[in-house]
Amino acid sequence: MEKTTREKLIYAATDLFRRKGYSAAGLTEILQAAGVPKGSLYHHFPGGKPDLALETARWAGRYLSRLMEEAFQESTSFKEGVTRICNAIADIHDARGAWDFCPVTGTLLGGPADERFRLAALEIFESWVKLSKTHAIRLGMAEARAELQSRAALLLIEGAWITARADGSADIIRRIPDMLEA
């Protein structure tokens, strides 16, 4: 049941990239948090920091996809699904001390203007929109509206994730459902 070195690195990197952003999070700091020696990183991530960031963001992307999927599965309306998602994110936020970025934003968009980063972020965002849209339709929404609402939800969540950092509170995230139909 031991965590592998690779997993330790991804966990630590996820934590630090979302808390400080890609550029501000030092490799030394990550290695130390992971309890992994310097040289090991490049064995598992030959491309260094960028490689680690890409893996980290994808891992977080899948994690949030699962969270969304479960939220929608348990819901009987689109709004309920979004509410569950926002509450879950807000809870995580509260638990972590509220200096968080969205893991994708902090990790990939907080980094250098690197095309690989941009594409990876785009792919993750689009996968979220698609997932949301699918459930919106399943729950009875017309396609055009499902698309717009899903995209709006993404923007609101990303925007809230940003301003929550300034607020020092996750409250704004919990108000998103009301905004969606305002």
Partner DNA sequence: AATGAATGAGTCTTCATTCAT
Partner DNA sequence: CATGAATGAAGACTCATTCAT
Q: Which residues bind DNA (CB under 7 A)?
A: 4-5, 25-29, 36-44, 48-50
Binding status of residue 50 toward a second copy by CB under 8 A: no
Q: How many CA atoms lie within 13 A of 105 on its CB side?
A: 15
Within 51-70, the residues that bind a second copy by CB under 8 A are: none
CB 47 within 8 A of CB 127: no
- Binding partner at 116 among DNA, a second copy, none, C-beta below 5 to 8 Å by kind: none
CB of 98 to a second copy, least distance (A): 10
How far apart CA 182 and CA 138 sit, in angstroms, is: 22
Which residues, 6 or more positions from 28, have their beta carbon under 8 angstroms from its beta carbon?
38
How far apart CA 25 and CA 4 sit, in angstroms, is: 22
List interacting residues with a second copy (CB under 8 A).
19-24, 99, 101-102, 105, 108-113, 118, 121-122, 125, 145, 148-149, 151-152, 154-160, 162-163, 165-168, 172, 175-176, 178-180, 182
